[in-house]
Amino acid sequence: MDSALIPEGVKRCSTGKFALFIGIVGAVLLWGVYAMLLCWLKGLNQTNMNDYYGFALWIWADLAVIALGGGAFFTGFLRYIVGKDELKNIINYAVLIGFICYSSALLILAIDIGQPLRGWFIFWHANVHSMLTEVAFCLSCYFAVLSIEYLPLILENRQLNKVPFFHHLAHNMHEVMAVFAATGAFLSFFHQGSLGGVAGVLFGRPFSFREGVFVWPWTFFLFTWSAAAYGPCFTLSLTKLIEAITGKQLVGEKCVNLLAKISGWMILTYIIAKIADTWYWASVLAPAQGFTLMDFYSNNPVYGIWILVLEIVIGGIIPALILITERGRKNPMLFILAIILGVIGVSINRWVMVLQVMAVPVMPFDTWAMYFPSWQEIATTILPVAYGVILIAISYRYLPVFPQERELND
């Protein structure tokens, strides 16, 4: 029925099957929308957050999707600025994932604030000292850049591309894409960093506070670095996932290998910096505020020292070592393991930087604050996942997301 819209020379499942799939995921999406409306209409009393735990699941989800969406800016940077031409075969998909991640982040933020209709105050009454102001400005601008980067892909739909104006527009946009990629990389440097700064500047919270380099705490640089390092792992994970679902190879080995190798080296260098950061924090910064490392990890049911091991060793050192070696990358099992561990590693980092920060007692006579999200929080966190699945499914079906698909599956 919709065959005229499907890119030429590629095979897709039947319309009925596709509609059924979209229907199932759509039901999950509607569940999330219902929870979102509850939060908007009734307020944040629909969540399990409280005055001790004012930042919770949503902020983590925001930070995590933004880090994972970092594959878009970093791949764009490598392709257009550094000139790694091989990456042209995955850039469309990286941009699509980035677009989904950033639109999801903005949506979650709109649910997370107590007065959504006043969200624009962050721009109007901007406090230049606040890291969140920097985040808001850069995030919105980068989302605009991602939309511009995604647009030519939409215009390349078989039917739209027949319209001469759209055809030329898409062509010309491709020509100037380096400018947007550079703008995106610049904006990403700041907003990824500012997200690190959000926690790093909290000098009243010894778990997250870090000292400054210029006007930024050094978590600023760690966040940017980690997003560039781990973002490609997420792009590659979703590529492998969609290849497994469709039963086709969609991106050539050379391209995957190159991105994985760069990601591996980035993770390795990042994790060395992260270990140095952890060491300095545990031995100098925290004691200056009256804490030992184990004060942050003991006497609570959830945040044991295992979480630090999971973040640094399992989610950092192991994937880095696999991805930097030719043998690790060539072994399909190890490769999949590495990119999944990478995704877990960065997600855990964002988790501790917001949730553990809230849980650790600061006043000596306080206790650990524990929290479990309500179903409304869970549903609204799954909402963007369902939205992302639908957008990927539609884009894959109707747009030339993977330029190598034809040649690899002939």
Partner 1 sequence: MKKAQEQNKPKKYGMVIDLDKCTGCGACMVACMAENNVPFKKDESNKKDSITWMRVYKLTNDEKYPDADICYLPRPCQHCEGQHGHSPCVSVCPATATDYSEETGIVSQIYTRCFGCRYCMAACPYHARYFNWWDPVWPEGMEKMLNPDVSPRMRGIVEKCSFCFHRYQSAMDKAHYEGRRDIEEGEYQTACTQACPAGAITFGDLNNPAHKVHELKKHPDAFRLLERLGTNPKIYYMSNREWVRKAGDNHLMAEKPAKKQH
- Site residues, partner 1 (CB under 8 A): 43-45, 49-55, 112-116, 118-119, 121-122, 124-127, 129-133, 136, 198, 201-206, 287-292, 295, 357-358, 362-367, 369
Shortest Å distance, C-beta 121 to partner 1: 4
Shortest Å distance, C-beta 203 to partner 1: 6
Shortest Å distance, C-beta 374 to partner 1: 12
Phi-psi label, residue 10: left if phi above 0, alpha if psi -120 to 50, beta otherwise: beta
Tell me whether residue 18 or residue 137 sits nearer to partner 1 (CB atom).
Answer: 137
Structure tokens at 12: 């897709």
C-alpha to C-alpha distance for 252 and 176, rounded to whole angstroms: 25
Shortest Å distance, C-beta 191 to partner 1: 13
C-alpha to C-alpha distance for 339 and 323, rounded to whole angstroms: 8
Tell me whether residue 165 or residue 214 sits nearer to partner 1 (CB atom).
Answer: 214
CA of residue 340 relative to chain centroid, distance:
14
Shortest Å distance, C-beta 287 to partner 1: 6
Tell me whether residue 366 or residue 407 sits nearer to partner 1 (CB atom).
Answer: 366
Tell me whether residue 247 or residue 364 sits nearer to partner 1 (CB atom).
Answer: 364
Phi and psi at residue 182, to the nearest 5° = -65, -45
Q: Which amino acid is at 151?
A: L
Shortest Å distance, C-beta 130 to partner 1: 4
Tell me whether residue 126 or residue 160 sits nearer to partner 1 (CB atom).
Answer: 126
Shortest Å distance, C-beta 351 to partner 1: 15
Tell me whether residue 17 or residue 42 sits nearer to partner 1 (CB atom).
Answer: 42
Shortest Å distance, C-beta 141 to partner 1: 15
Cβ neighbours for 330, distance < 8 A, ≥ 6 positions apart: none
Mapped onto helix, strand or coil, the DSSP state of residue 18 is helix
Tell me whether residue 132 or residue 340 sits nearer to partner 1 (CB atom).
Answer: 132
Phi-psi label, residue 176: left if phi above 0, alpha if psi -120 to 50, beta otherwise: alpha
Shortest Å distance, C-beta 150 to partner 1: 27
CA 407 to each of CA 4, 10, 257: distance values in angstroms, whole numbers, following the listed order: 20, 10, 18
Tell me whether residue 7 or residue 196 sits nearer to partner 1 (CB atom).
Answer: 196
Phi-psi label, residue 83: left if phi above 0, alpha if psi -120 to 50, beta otherwise: left
Q: How many other C-beta atoms lie within 10 A of the C-beta of residue 319? A: 32
C-alpha to C-alpha distance for 347 and 62, rounded to whole angstroms: 10
C-alpha to C-alpha distance for 93 and 246, rounded to whole angstroms: 15
Tell me whether residue 4 or residue 128 sits nearer to partner 1 (CB atom).
Answer: 128
Instruction: Count Cα neighbours of 382 within 13 Å in the Cβ-side half-sphere.
Output: 17
State the Rg of the chain over Cα. Answer: 22
Cβ neighbours for 277, distance < 8 A, ≥ 6 positions apart: 210, 218, 219, 222
Give residue for tokens 């042209």: 88
Shortest Å distance, C-beta 317 to partner 1: 30
DSSP string, 327-384: HHHHSHHHHHHHHHHHHHHHHHHHHIIIIIHHHS--STT---------HHHHHHHHHH
